[in-house]
Amino acid sequence: MKQRVFSGIKPTGHLTFGHYSTAGKWPALAEQYDCIYCVVDLHAVTVTLEPQVLRQDTRELYATYLALGLDPEKNILFLQSHVPAHSELSWLLSCHTMFGELSRMTQFKDKSKNNANNINAGLFTYPVLMAADILLYDAKIVPVGEDQKQHVEIARDICLRFNGKFGDVFTVPEPQIAKTGARVMNLLEPEKKMSKTDDNDNATIFIMDERDTIIKKIKRAVTDSDGGVRFDPENKPGVANLMTIYSVATGKTFDEIEKEFDGKGYGIFKPAVAEAVADCLEPVRLKIRGYLDDTARLDAYMRDGAERANAIAVKTLERVRNAMGFYKC
Ligand code: AQP
């Protein structure tokens, strides 16, 4: 039996080059693993969203999975809200998750700071739902960006605690973090992660950005006065970020990039980064548009994915109910 991979992205806006960097590596995994990818729409509603916007973002994200090269026959691609077992398992696991450990989650602290008017319980218990997503499918490997590592670790802790009480009910998951591009940074404040909900659009490269927009944004990206293209995230965070972006777009190593731009300065480096990013995102953008124009095909893929995911999820949930002692008749 192949080991299983599970991951997901929440539909809270247009995907960024950071998502491209992380999810762009997923299609290759199907050669070696049994892969399941989810549009985690239940996670999205921890922030206030207009219903129409959630619907649009959900479709666009599903289309992006396809456009990135995730083949719906080789992978299971589905919407979280189409498989009710996620919510039920989340409740059961929440009774085995400690208030203290949830309080330590960096994302909860950051999001509470940024959403002071809406620190809802869902924001707090978000990692429990994420643990349910992963454990429902007995995923061994969870490929995520650096920012989600802590959430996979708490899923692992919840899993070990649950297995310790009830026997080996779940597979113990582990995070898989890429060596390069696991944390693409904000173009204007390179100490912050590039995020789809940043207030300033110029700080973020969106997968759907047109070539001219990408070129303008990268031209304005923060660098430094030193002028050298060297990978030094501590002293040259802006340049290190552009090197990371260039590396993701071209597959070149940092050594190769340093040699390529040795003595050339940012006037040559930035346009090269911009062209490389525009070249790699353009075919994805065109494919997304194509999928979005074909609602019947998109809906058919979603229904099929939900059916296949549901078939696995209900079995796991049954195992959990039996292990915990819920009465069956
Ligand atoms: N900047 C990034 N660099 C590398 N990987 C990233 N990911 C997100 N941003 C970057 C990875 O993409 C996966 C799904 O992320 P998500 O959108 O579900 O949640 P997030 O990490 O909270 O992303 P955002 O853009 O910051 O969304 P909002 O603003 O809505 O919270 C994860 O594997 C993540 O690591």
What percent of the chain clears pLDDT 70, i.e. is strictly above it? 100
Mean pLDDT, rounded, of the chain: 97
Which tokens go with 255? 């050594």
Indicate which atom in ligand 1 lies nearest the CA of residue 147.
Answer: 35
Cβ–ligand 1 distance for 18 under 6 Å, the answer yes
What pLDDT, on a 0 to 100 scale, did the predictor assign at position 218?
Answer: 98
| pLDDT single digits (tens) 225-252 | 999 999 999 999 999 999 999 999 999 9
What is the Å distance from ligand 1's center to 160 Cα? 26
pLDDT at 115: 85
By the 8 A CB rule, do 85 and 38 touch?
no
pLDDT tens per residue across span 138-168: 999 999 999 999 999 999 999 999 999 999 9
User: What percent of the chain is modeled with pLDDT above 90?
Assistant: 99
Question: C-alpha angle with apex 54: 52 to 59, nearest 5 degrees?
Answer: 100
**Atom number, ligand 1, closest to the C-alpha of residue 10:** 18
- Are the CB atoms for 19 and 156 separated by under 8 Å? no
**Most informative mutation of 193, 198, 206 for ligand 1 (most atoms within 8 A of CB):** 193
Transcribe 149-212 into DSSP letters: HHHHHHHHHHHHHHHHHHSS-SPPPEEE--SSSSSPBPSSSTTSB--TT-S-GGG--BTT--HH
Is residue 219 part of the annotated active site? The answer reads no
Q: Is 193 a catalytic residue?
A: yes
Give me the pLDDT at residue 229, please. Answer: 97
| Rounded CA separation 96/42 (Å) | 20
Give the pLDDT confidence of 20-36 residue by residue, as tens digits: 999 999 999 999 999 99
Q: Could you tell me the distance, in angstroms and rounded to a whole number, from the CA of residue 64 to the centre of ligand 1? A: 14
140 lines ligand 1 (CB under 6 A): no
245 lines ligand 1 (CB under 6 A): no
Q: Is the pLDDT at 1 greater than 90, yes or no?
A: no
| pTM, to two decimals | 0.96
Sequence-distant (≥ 6) Cβ neighbours of residue 133 within 8 angstroms: 6, 8, 38, 40, 80, 86
Catalytic residue among 111, 140, 217, 270: 111
Q: In whole angstroms, how large is the CA radius of gyration of the chain? A: 21
Ligand 1 center–CA 10 separation, angstroms: 8
Q: What's the pLDDT tens digit per position in 69-115?
A: 999 999 999 999 999 999 999 999 999 999 999 999 999 999 999 88
| Mean pLDDT across 249-262 | 98
Averaged over 321-328, what is the pLDDT? Answer: 97
